[in-house]
Structure 1
Amino acid sequence: MTSAEGDPHLWTWMAFSASAEIRGGHMLPPVRRDLARIARAIARFEPVSMLVRRDDIEQARAMLGPGIVVSQRPSDRRSLGYGIAERHLEILRAADDASGRPLRVEVFEGPARTRPTLESSCSAATYTNFYLCNGAVVAPEFGDPEADAFAKSALARLFPCREVVQIDIDAIVSGGAGINCTARHEPAD
């Protein structure tokens, strides 16, 4: 049985998928610390079970509701990624949802700076990789006070009936993953 991520959950399932082969031995302890931090944040709102599996890394996106899309662009307008993100935003802004209504596009600016622990060629410092659990949005923070506060405010506006909990998951992000990559919900019914 499947349901939208934003529907009530019976449980959240997580995989303790970090391995030395994937992350490198030096990154294993901080990645596991971040997985535990995510589990503790979600457990404030619903039960969490941690599975020990190696290959349980999937991408998922949160369901905000009909016609709402979240996207992020780099804060540095000179970066190659900024131009690509702007082109993608143009496409999204011109698109309609399945009912023919224009999409509502919510744009997050990427952090202008991050903590030194995030300096990696695989870094995925995106605010759009958050997780919806019962009563909360668990989201990353990257050490950029202005961008972190904007993301928290935007998520609070998008999900007014949920508490926004931001946590440091630098080790996971430095490997190209995020919060939504680590947790899956079990539908309540």
Structure 2
Amino acid sequence: MALDLVGAHVGACAFGEDEGTLLITESSIVNANRNPGKTRDQIEDELIETLGVEKVVWLAGVRGEDITDAHVDSLVRFTAPGVVLLDQAFPGTPPDSWSRSADQARSVLSKATDARGRRFEIIDLPQPDLDRITGEGDDFVSTYANFYIANDAVFMPRFGDTKADQRAKSILQEHFPKRDIVPVRIDTIASGGGGIHCSTHDQPGKPAA
């Protein structure tokens, strides 16, 4: 069965792990600009039937402030079943719709369980200091959560705030100890509202022996 939803095919508005749990932002898919006339329940049923997941955890997201309506891959990512990295604004940054979205996601995840009944372990992944990054633009996306997992490496954004870049690399290395963590400068992509994961399509790797 084909997935008859706009937005879900890109692997960005919905993100899962291999034990049946899917995270998704409501703003990006229960939205008249992508799936007019479809309710959240209808969309959830279609995701479960087509993707084979057992549980969908809905996060609010942010509507109308970027081209994606807040894809989940810039907000929260699995590192293992039951373990997630959650984007966090740089300490001291004034609250905005994005930090409130992260707060809402934390509230939901802290009370939710995954498909196996486990409580989520939530690890903060702080953003860089916007006064120290090398990129610019009103649409600039400064989240480290939009990383890409390859067979033997994780490609992460490098924004130019040396301390924050290193902190993010250390967090990723802790959670992906068998992969090289490769920082990549992405100012051009980020200035257009995108990231590394946004620009890729995952390909299945050869199963471990």
- Structure-2-length-normalised TM-score: 0.57
Report the 3-state secondary structure (helix = DSSP H, G, I; strand = E; otherwise coil) of the residue aligned with 2:142: coil
2:50 is the counterpart of 1:66: no
Question: Equivalent residue for 1:167?
Answer: 184
1:124 maps to which of 122, 141, 150: 141
> RCO higher in 1 or 2 (8 Å CA, sep ≥ 6)?
1
Question: Equivalent residue for 1:50?
Answer: none
Report the 3-state secondary structure (helix = DSSP H, G, I; strand = E; otherwise coil) of the residue aligned with 1:181: helix
RMSD: 2.6
Is residue 60–residue 181 contact of structure 1 (8 Å, CA) maintained in 2? no
Taking only the aligned residue pairs, the percentage that are identical comes to 33
Q: What displacement does 1:98 show?
A: 0.8
2:66 is the counterpart of 1:85: no
Output aligned runs, 1:1-189, within 5 Å: 61=73, 63-75=78-90, 76-80=92-96, 81-113=98-130, 114-116=132-134, 118-188=135-205
For residues 64-109 of structure 1, what are the alpha-carbon distances to aligned partners after superposition, in whole Å with 9 as ceiling and x for unaligned?
2211222112113422243442232122122111111100112111
Is residue 123–residue 174 contact of structure 1 (8 Å, CA) maintained in 2? yes
Listed as ranges, the gaps of 5+ residues in structure 2 are: 1-14, 19-67
Report the 3-state secondary structure (helix = DSSP H, G, I; strand = E; otherwise coil) of the residue aligned with 1:129: coil
Report the 3-state secondary structure (helix = DSSP H, G, I; strand = E; otherwise coil) of the residue aligned with 1:150: helix
Is residue 5–residue 185 contact of structure 1 (8 Å, CA) maintained in 2? no
User: Which letter maps to 2:129?
Assistant: A
Report the 3-state secondary structure (helix = DSSP H, G, I; strand = E; otherwise coil) of the residue aligned with 1:72: strand
Distance 2:155 2:110 in 1: 27
Is residue 5–residue 132 contact of structure 1 (8 Å, CA) maintained in 2? no
**Between Structure 1 and Structure 2, how many residues are aligned?**
135
